[in-house]
Structure 1
Amino acid sequence: MTSLAELSAHQLLEGFADGRFDPVQVHDAVQAEISRREPELNTFWIRDPAESSAAAGASAERWRHGHPCGPLDGVPVTVKENIARAGVPMPSGNAAVIPVIPEHDDPITTRLREAGAVILGSTVMPDWGMLSSGVSSLHGITRSPWNPAWTTGGSSSGAGAAAAAGFGPLHVGSDIGGSIRLPGTWLGLATLKPTGGLIPLGAPYLGRAAGPLTRTAEDARLLLDVLAGPAQGDWTSLPPLGTQPRASDPSRLRIGFQPEAGDGMAVDPEVAAAVTAAVDLFADSGAEIVELPGSCSDRVLTDLDRFWRVRSLRDQQILPGDRQELTLPFIQRWVQQAAGTSGEQLMDCYHAIGTLQRRTVDLTAGCDLVLSPVAPVAAFPAEWPMPFGEQDLGMAHIGFTVPYNMSGQPAGTVNCGFTGDGRPIGLQIAGQRFTDDLVLDAMAWFETHRPASTTPVWPIG
């Protein structure tokens, strides 16, 4: 018998509507899974079981009277710890930080509450969100539900692990260079970094976006629809996209294929093979496939890495002196490499970001979609802060993901295979700005057409 914790958001809403089960039963089933697996996986910063239980009870009453309050009424969700919830401390995964305690909800949190979602709590992240793993000086190590020895990816590490573990179907993460999509590829999820500005942020920043981590493209679309639209305080936020043409199959699409990022780590042969097989599936269905060079070139990843190092160095420097050593040692070493950066060098780094924006837009301009790996490698050991362990190779692993943060184009992930030892491999599907629905359509199409051997079977573990 299928557990209620395994169901998608769409399946839950159908069950609530026809009375087969109610939000309290679902909440209890999800909490049972959390109690069973959370001690090992380590996904939550703050859990609110009493509050979420009360919210589920109120939702059950609304459903009993046939008056749900919104499109997510009764559906369990989580939010990343850097998305404000009034009264919940925001330490950004760093033990050195004296957490900000927000007085108001982030627009994302407000919209979830208005939609009737049952917020289970805030999920963890690594120090300042600057690691692509679940390693944190504050939280310890977050581990993959597929195998606790493997990384979750990051920085939306807790959100990704919660999605894969069945701690509710909907999870909100944030992404500045791949932080939604990297957990997506290493955990077999359906995720979306939306068009820049489509989901409003409490703290907008160059390249930053928030978006869904889910187990199906259909659920990612549901969550996007709830969260999208302008909000006071986010000067980058956009109006809703409105109705877009639906693409039921790829036969009329011109699709770019980027087998290489153009800079950074080489693509592992197993990753390359799985992604190429996915591209072939689109080609066999009538899509025109055009091979494209990578978006990264001319040391852009090195320059971008230095730009971020300087920002985090400043964050480290303003910490109280007696707390600075509490930051993760890897991050301490990483930021110190930026010490002495001149204003001229920093401006060169900033201009390199503009070059990456322009190159990405120009390269992809003639394509409806662009397919590529999400990351050059599959999941690495959970204890490693980065795909290269304790080495400092900067941002050599985000050459496929970060271009779309800087260009503002939507990019999603969907599982397309597994390594020989069972680690998930993700396909990145990117589109033009404001074509988020087309990206989600392509993800959903692929989910229904990919071989069974490449399809995750939930629940995991």
Structure 2
Amino acid sequence: MKTPLYALSAADLLSNYRQRELSPVEVMQSVLDRIEHWEPGIRAMYVVHAEQALAAARSAEARWLAGTPNGPLDGVPVTLKENIATRGTPVPLGSAATVLAPAPADAPAAARLLEAGAIVVGKTTMPDFGFLGAAPSSFHPLTRNPWKLDRNTGGSSSGAGAAAAAGYGPLHLGTDIGGSVRIPASFCGVFGLKPSHGRVPVHPPAAARVIGPLTRTVADAALAMQAISRPDARDYMSLPPQDIAWQQLERDIRGLRIGLWLDPSGDWQVDAEVRAAVLAAAHLFEQGGAVVEPVRDWTTMDMRIGMAHFFTMRCRVDLAGMPPERASLAAGYIRKAAEFAGTLTPEQTFQAFTRMQQLREATVAATQPYDFVISPVSPVLPFAADAINSGGDLPLKDSHFTAVFNHSEQPAASIPCGMSRDGLPIGLQISGRRFDDLGVLQLAHWFERASEPQRQWPEPH
């Protein structure tokens, strides 16, 4: 069966453009048609720039026909999470409390993609201020999982995960401060990379905040990284520019030492189907010649509570800067977090920051003996679409395996490693040593090729 144009990888599109076998215009029309068919069900898009995207595709077509492409991604459709600013488009940050005003400039990652010739199809959804590993937002309609519409996409790059799974073109960018690229990638059955902190320039920069790609293939994520990792002076926390061979994904894994982090230190367990899929992935690495060893959970509840307190204080500061009538429009989970933060003393707030530093130190120390560490992305399967977490008395459980690598600044990815009995995706997290973004991509590429082929992608109902 011939692959539809909207489902072609970025690598395949570029090859076809180069050989003049496909036009960026017909590809863009296919993507826009796909969005039209899927959006009533999944609501992944905040805004679709249909006319501008088609006009840009016509320009790209002319350049390819003349043999003068504008850059390494000329004519490739992309979507951006709505908090990655594009000039002229308001940035609501997922919240009805935000005053809408056109963004004055493109964010660094958006600028780099445009310079590379990529075409921004539109912007994808997110929950209020990116605070959740789930989809509900006070501004956007509820985004739903293409695999099962009554299931959550994860968050906060909710729309990006859904768009990648639904086939809204090959490249999608999200942001991640505690798992916000990897959790949607896991729940939606796509690949997602959280790069090392500072690898991709961000504006405004902040501790733990990164931008990364969500794609259907590891090779497409590498293509995106080649563009978005280029420097931008606005990010004063970014890493020095580095000439990384992003396309060199082949790697022999024999002899690699891989840690398997599977059992949390608390009084809860990873869901049985998630656990089985991760153990099967570990066995596959062993069959490939890697040495896989169990890793004990190095985190403590004090560290995690410190992280939670720090980010609830961020909610309080965000709302305090607004007129009360606007702050009241924020989602209930934001207002509840801000109210709780008001009970913390200055000493407790500083202690929260200190505990996050302890989490960072412990994560680097525990993972340093290994070339890579594998784990679940989420300890649970995708939960109800309108829920803000997986429920119960353990709200920190959902980001248990992901948030640590934001604070340690290490690269980490989510790659599909199985499906539940009910047809819900399960993601495997692969984390590497700090700055070894290429190594994480290489190990993910090996796993992608060694695994069973992805089942047929979901279709609109």
TM-score by length of structure 2 reads 0.96
| Residues paired across the two proteins, number | 457
Distance in 2 between residues matched to 1:338 and 1:296, nearest whole Å? 23
Query: Do the aligned residues in 1 keep the contact of 2:175 with 2:209 (CA within 8 Å)?
Result: yes
TM superposition shift of 1:331:
2.4
1:129-168 superposed matches below 5 A: 129-168=130-169
The equivalent residue for 2:68 is 67
Distance in 1 between residues matched to 2:369 and 2:8, nearest whole Å? 38
Which amino acid in 1 is paired with 2:406? N
The equivalent residue for 2:232 is 231
Is the partner of 2:133 in helix, strand or coil?
coil
Query: Do the aligned residues in 2 keep the contact of 1:415 with 1:424 (CA within 8 Å)?
Result: yes
The equivalent residue for 1:321 is 324
TM superposition shift of 1:318:
2.3
TM superposition shift of 1:380:
0.5
Distance 1:15 1:375, change over 3 A: same
Distance in 2 between residues matched to 1:417 and 1:194, nearest whole Å? 23
The equivalent residue for 2:251 is 248
Is the partner of 1:135 in helix, strand or coil?
coil
Query: Do the aligned residues in 2 keep the contact of 1:132 with 1:387 (CA within 8 Å)?
Result: no
Distance in 2 between residues matched to 1:228 and 1:456, nearest whole Å? 31
Query: Do the aligned residues in 2 keep the contact of 1:265 with 1:376 (CA within 8 Å)?
Result: no
The equivalent residue for 2:309 is 306
TM superposition shift of 1:120:
0.6
TM superposition shift of 1:459:
5.2
Query: Do the aligned residues in 2 keep the contact of 1:125 with 1:134 (CA within 8 Å)?
Result: yes
- Is 1:458 matched with 2:457? yes
Offset from partner CA, 1:161-181 (integer Å, 9 cap, x none): 111110011000000000000
Query: Do the aligned residues in 2 keep the contact of 1:417 with 1:424 (CA within 8 Å)?
Result: yes
- Is 1:280 matched with 2:283? yes
Which amino acid in 1 is paired with 2:19? D
Which amino acid in 2 is paired with 1:364? T
CA RMSD of aligned residues (A): 1.5
> Which 10-residue stretch deviates more, 225-234 or 416-425?
225-234
Distance in 1 between residues matched to 2:269 and 2:204, nearest whole Å? 34
Distance 1:11 1:97, change over 3 A: same
The equivalent residue for 1:443 is 444
Distance 1:102 1:381, change over 3 A: same
TM superposition shift of 1:293:
1.3
The equivalent residue for 1:335 is 338
Query: Do the aligned residues in 2 keep the contact of 1:72 with 1:116 (CA within 8 Å)?
Result: yes
1:347 counterpart (345, 350, 359): 350
> Which 10-residue stretch deviates more, 162-171 or 261-270?
261-270
TM superposition shift of 1:252:
2.4
Query: Do the aligned residues in 2 keep the contact of 1:271 with 1:373 (CA within 8 Å)?
Result: yes
Distance 1:10 1:420, change over 3 A: same
Distance in 1 between residues matched to 2:403 and 2:117, nearest whole Å? 33
Which amino acid in 1 is paired with 2:306? D
The equivalent residue for 1:363 is 366
The 4+ residue runs of structure 1 with deviation greater than 6 A are none
Distance 1:166 1:249, change over 3 A: same
Query: Do the aligned residues in 2 keep the contact of 1:409 with 1:434 (CA within 8 Å)?
Result: yes
1:79-118 superposed matches below 5 A: 79-118=80-119
> Which 10-residue stretch deviates more, 419-428 or 333-342?
333-342
The equivalent residue for 2:429 is 428
Distance 1:217 1:460, change over 3 A: farther
Distance in 2 between residues matched to 1:242 and 1:302, nearest whole Å? 38
TM superposition shift of 1:301:
1.6
Q: Which runs of 5+ in 2 are unaligned?
A: none
Query: Do the aligned residues in 2 keep the contact of 1:247 with 1:438 (CA within 8 Å)?
Result: no
> Which 10-residue stretch deviates more, 223-232 or 168-177?
223-232
TM superposition shift of 1:368:
0.8
TM superposition shift of 1:384:
0.5
